[in-house]
Amino acid sequence: MNNVVEDEDNMITKSEKVNAQQRAAMMIRQAGIQLNDGETEKIEVVDFGLSRLDDEGVQVFTMVNTDRLAAKILVLFPNQTEPEHWHPRVGNDPGKQETIRHIWGDLLFYVEGDDNMKKGFIVEGKENVYTLRHEIILQPGDQLTFEPYEKHWFQAGPRGAVLYSFSTTVRDGLDGFTDPAIQRTTVIKEEN
């Protein structure tokens, strides 16, 4: 389990969070998905405790998360990367099974397999924590399913990307990450 360490270098400001929520909402609407009044503020901004949101992060709008299923909309800003991770066993639950469906934009996924990376890139200085290099280019309407413990990471191209995540119940705070510096809980710092 990742510990939350409140270090000034591992935080984003409230205005950064609000700006990211507004950008994400605009992209969701651009993809043809409607949001109700007040839902923009419910978009989770995840910087993974790295304070480099435009490089490594994701914006998440949870439509439903019960003890049996979850449905979310994920937004990646242009060239933003969600770090390499997997969904582990939690108690008697074997771990999250997840289907990703690409809706809009440019989306690359990385999974186990031969290194065929051509379009994407490894985040600068992170060569050791992005170990998967088998690239799958998704077009809108394409989907992938990941079993528990199946490592993956993904990245948007120059337009960004909007995708659905349909899964068994979500316990994102317990996900495993290859990068030991990651903290799954975003910390917001007060502005002066």
Residue 2: predicted pLDDT = 41
Query: Residue 134 and residue 154: Cα distance in Å, rounded?
Result: 11
CA–CA distance, 81 with 64 (Å, rounded to integer) = 24
CA gyration radius, the chain: 16
Q: Residue 4 has what pLDDT?
A: 42
The string of pLDDT tens digits covering residues 78-114 is 999 999 999 998 888 888 999 999 999 999 999 999 9
Q: What is the pTM of this model?
A: 0.92
Q: Which domains are seen in the chain, by residue range?
A: 8-189 (2.60.120.10)
**What is the mean pLDDT of the segment spanning 114-125?**
97
Least confident of 39-53, 76-90, 178-192: 178-192
Tokens of 74: 């994920």
**Range 129-147 average pLDDT:** 98
Q: How confident is the model at residue 192 (pLDDT cuts 50, 70, 90)?
A: low
User: Average of pLDDT values for 53-79?
Assistant: 96
Mean pLDDT of 107-130: 98
Rounded CA-CA distance 39/19 in Å is: 14
| Among candidate residues 96, 113, 83, 109, the one with its CA nearest the CA of residue 149 | 96
